[in-house]
Amino acid sequence: MSWRNILISNPAKLRCENNSLIIEQDCKYHVPLEDISSIVIDCPQVNLTQPVLSFCADRGIAIYTTDSKHIPNGVFLSFSSHSKATKLLKLQLSISKPLQKRLWSKLINRKILNQAICLELSGLQEESDYMKRLAEKIRSGDPDNTESRAAAYYFKNLFNESFSRNDDENMINGCLNYGYSIIRGEIARRLVAHGLDTHIGLFHNNFGNSFKLADDLIEPYRAIVDLFTKQYIESSYDERLPKTQLIELLYNEVSTPRGNMSVSQSIEILVESYIRILEGKLDQLELPVLKALSKHLYEDNLLP
């Protein structure tokens, strides 16, 4: 399984040779294509050839671009050539409304419980207990919009009373947006690799969004980025966006019904469980449970 996530933040030339990605900077790096999960291009002076795009598409490697604020704003993914794609499309289109609502409520329940864990790990036990009580009130489809009420309470207690998610100039939001985008892209990559159509979501249904399903499945993972951001601004905070560390959150350990594993591995398990639910072979999504931040033992930081 591919596992290396590459961040390119300085001028470079990219090309492919002998089944490896060649990164030409002051030094020349050779990275086997089979090891690469994603490439984040965060510098306007990066040149790459058409064969690089083609080789990445053939191997399911995601390529991210970033905007002027260094936030990922696009992702290049391969067309699905999975043998089950047509079958899965029919299953996605025929999913019942009650099942959609039930799955969405489970995603939101786990999201709020992970937010509660984040507050607890941040020394906010009373606030964490309140979030747990909110999670217990979620009904199928979340008709009471408990998710929104929980988010308003959560962010003001995790950061400060004046914090707003609408402030794009805020360093906290810079970290959150970057981290969410990386995880969202990894989820989209896994969905496409399994033959699922990312346009067909459970809850998100805005017309111009090509990654509705990824936006549904990311919800339980957001607290991982939140926890990192909280600890970052309280310790080694400076004006630079910690892009490498945010990408490396994919290597962090979470708990799942199958044991401890990296965020990246748990996304694979979650996507597989969703497919099995569509096929009628499983009842529940296999969702991640937040833990204190630490790298999973089987993952290494191997960014060049």
pLDDT at 299 over 50: no
Give one DSSP letter per residue of 109-157, joined into a string.
Answer: HHHHHHHHHHHHHTT-HHHHHHHHHHHHT--TT-TT-HHHHHHHHHHHH
Tens digit of each residue's pLDDT (9 = 90 or more) over 182-216: 999 999 988 988 889 999 999 988 877 889 999 99
**% of the chain beyond a pLDDT of 70:** 95
Q: Determine whether the annotation assigns residue 204 to a binding site.
A: yes
For the CA atoms of 140, 146, 148, 149, what is the dihedral angle to 10 degrees? 180
- Helices 171-193 and 263-278 meet at what angle, rounded to 10? 50
- What domains can be seen in the chain, in order of their start residue? 4-76 (3.100.10.20), 84-279 (1.20.120.920)
* The two structure tokens encoding residue 114: 């992970």
Tens digit of each residue's pLDDT (9 = 90 or more) over 80-97: 555 678 899 999 999 999
- Check residue 298 and give its pLDDT: 58
Tens digit of each residue's pLDDT (9 = 90 or more) over 261-272: 999 999 999 999
Average pLDDT, stretch 3-17? 91
pLDDT at 79 over 80: no
Cα–Cα distance, 89 to 196 (Å, whole number)? 7
Q: Determine whether the annotation assigns residue 219 to a binding site.
A: yes
pLDDT at 142 over 60: yes
- Check residue 28 and give its pLDDT: 93
Tens digit of each residue's pLDDT (9 = 90 or more) over 26-68: 999 999 999 998 899 989 999 999 999 999 999 889 899 988 8
* Of 206, 224, 223, 204, residue with least CA distance to 214: 204
Tens digit of each residue's pLDDT (9 = 90 or more) over 271-290: 999 999 999 999 999 999 99
- The Cβ of residue 90 has, within 10 Å, a number of other Cβ atoms equal to 10
Cα–Cα distance, 69 to 52 (Å, whole number)? 25
Kindly report which listed range (6-15, 21-30, 202-211) carries the lowest average pLDDT score.
202-211
Pairing of the two strands 62-66 and 72-76? antiparallel
Cα–Cα distance, 138 to 144 (Å, whole number)? 8
- Check residue 72 and give its pLDDT: 82
Tens digit of each residue's pLDDT (9 = 90 or more) over 93-122: 999 999 999 999 999 999 999 999 999 999
* Of 56, 57, 12, 13, residue with least CA distance to 33: 56
CA distances from 170 to 72, 83, 143, 154, 239 (A): 16, 45, 31, 17, 10
- Check residue 152 and give its pLDDT: 94
Cα–Cα distance, 86 to 65 (Å, whole number)? 29
- Check residue 166 and give its pLDDT: 84
pTM of the model: 0.85
Q: 5 forms bridges with which residues in the sheet?
A: 38
Mean residue pLDDT of the chain comes to 91
